[in-house]
Structure 1
Amino acid sequence: MDDLDHGIIAELRRDGRASISELAERLKVSRATVRTRLDRLKSVGEIAGFIVLTRSDISVAPVRGLMMIGIEGRGGDRITARLTGMPAVMAVHSTNGKWDMIVELSTESLAELDDVIRRIRNMDGVMTSETNLILSTRRASSLRQG
């Protein structure tokens, strides 16, 4: 990937609905160049897909948190399987450092979040955890714009 590829991805992160013409204008290249680059980025897997977030995606379960989990022994696959089956679990990330995984949680209330955290902490193999509430989210583009 070169600077133009990175620029295309950055522009799409700012505005995923930008047309090829708009991208070409912003990046000061031809539409054909943008189209060719986009096709290549998708075909090699650099762009894995596009998503749409609706109001209901955000407001159905407004209480969100990140739970860092330390696992005993080799129970990671088993715990991951159990976590991904829980409706409140939006994603499970493996990581390095102090924590073995980070779990994104989303519930309708603090009481429900507390119950989910308690159930996860009681899973065999979960040795330690720390949970932080997500208070607000700013996209990278909004941070760069000022």
Structure 2
Amino acid sequence: MDETDLRLIAALRRNGRAGISELAADLGLGRATIRARMERLAATGDILGYSVVTRSDAAEAPVRGLMMIGIEGRGTERIMARLMGMPAVRAVHSTNGKWDLIAEIGAQSLAELDAVLFQIRRLDGVATSETNLLLTTRRGG
């Protein structure tokens, strides 16, 4: 799987109902390229299928955290694409200051969160990180 495949999978995770034309426009690729990549990803088993997500399915993961990531070199775009390809990563933000990226992560358990953090830390170009657990969330109106 290359970076384009990861970007395609991330786009499908955001909107599994997106059409070929919409995906092509979003990713800056041709429709034939998108169709061929989707067929190849399905044939290799990287895409197992498409599903419906109901409101009750979208309940927040009980263990959530923010991972601040420092990147060495020029790999920010590549790392962002890899992060968005991970199911536990809900969003990725670029930022200024000490950290290059902030990843919002959701997991079912501390052990699962730990496994995700370990996987992210092993990405080529990730130099340092710091993670904070989210304890409560209040939303303004």
TM-score range, shorter chain: 0.5 to 0.7
Does residue 57 in structure 1 map to residue 37 in structure 2? no
Q: What is the alpha-carbon distance in structure 1 between the residues aligned to residue 95 and residue 55 of structure 2?
A: 29
Q: What is the number of equivalent residue pairs in this alignment?
A: 88
Q: Residue type matched to 1:132 in 2?
A: N
Q: What is the alpha-carbon distance in structure 2 between the residues aligned to residue 133 and residue 58 of structure 1?
A: 18
* Cα drift, residue 55 of structure 1: 5.0
So what's the TM-score if we normalise by structure 2? 0.59
For the aligned residues, what is the CA RMSD? 1.5
Q: Residue type matched to 2:116 in 1?
A: V
* Cα drift, residue 54 of structure 1: 4.3
* Cα drift, residue 140 of structure 1: 1.9
Q: Residue type matched to 2:83 in 1?
A: L
Q: What is the alpha-carbon distance in structure 2 between the residues aligned to residue 91 and residue 67 of structure 1?
A: 11
The residue that corresponds to 1:68 in the other structure is 68
Q: Residue type matched to 2:125 in 1?
A: G
Q: Which structure 2 residues correspond to residues 1-146 of structure 1 after superposition, within 5 A?
A: 54-59=55-60, 61-141=61-141
In the alignment, structure 1 segments of 5+ residues that lack a partner are 1-52, 142-146
Q: Residue type matched to 1:95 in 2?
A: T
So what's the TM-score if we normalise by structure 1? 0.57
Q: What is the alpha-carbon distance in structure 1 between the residues aligned to residue 56 and residue 65 of structure 2?
A: 18
Q: What is the alpha-carbon distance in structure 1 between the residues aligned to residue 79 and residue 114 of structure 2?
A: 19
For residues 28-48 of structure 1, the C-alpha deviation after alignment (integer angstroms, 9 at most, x for no partner) is xxxxxxxxxxxxxxxxxxxxx
Q: What is the alpha-carbon distance in structure 2 between the residues aligned to residue 132 and residue 57 of structure 1?
A: 22
The residue that corresponds to 1:12 in the other structure is none
* Cα drift, residue 62 of structure 1: 1.2
Q: Percent identity between the aligned chains? A: 67
Q: Secondary structure at the match of 2:59?
A: helix
Q: What is the alpha-carbon distance in structure 1 between the residues aligned to residue 98 and residue 90 of structure 2?
A: 22
Q: What is the alpha-carbon distance in structure 2 between the residues aligned to residue 139 and residue 78 of structure 1?
A: 32
